[in-house]
Structure 1
Amino acid sequence: MKYSEALQYKKEALEKADESVLQSYHIIITPSDTGESAKYIEEFSKNPEDFNDNSCKKYASNDEYEMVSFRKETEEEGE
Structure 2
Amino acid sequence: MKYHEAVAHKKESIQNAHESIIRDYHIIIVPANTDESKKYIEDFSKNPEAYDDASCKKYCTDDNYEVVSFRKETEDSN
Task: State the TM-score, normalizing by the size of structure 2.
Answer: 0.98
Matched residue, 1:11:
11
1:1-79 superposed matches below 5 A: 1-77=1-77, 79=78
What root-mean-square deviation, in Å, do the aligned CA atoms of Structure 1 and Structure 2 show? 0.5
SS of alignment partner, residue 69 of structure 1? strand
Name segments (4+ residues, structure 1) moved above 2 Å.
none
Unaligned segments of structure 2, at least 5 residues: none
AA aligned to 1:13 is S
* 1:2-28 per-position Cα deviation (integer Å, ceiling 9, x unaligned): 000110000000000111110000000
SS of alignment partner, residue 76 of structure 2? helix
Give me the whole-angstrom Cα distance separating, in 1, the residues matched to 2:60 and 2:22.
25
AA aligned to 2:59 is Y
Q: CA deviation at 1:76?
A: 1.3
Unaligned segments of structure 1, at least 5 residues: none
Paired residues in the alignment total 78
Task: State the TM-score, normalizing by the size of structure 1.
Answer: 0.96
Give me the whole-angstrom Cα distance separating, in 2, the residues matched to 1:16 and 1:61.
30
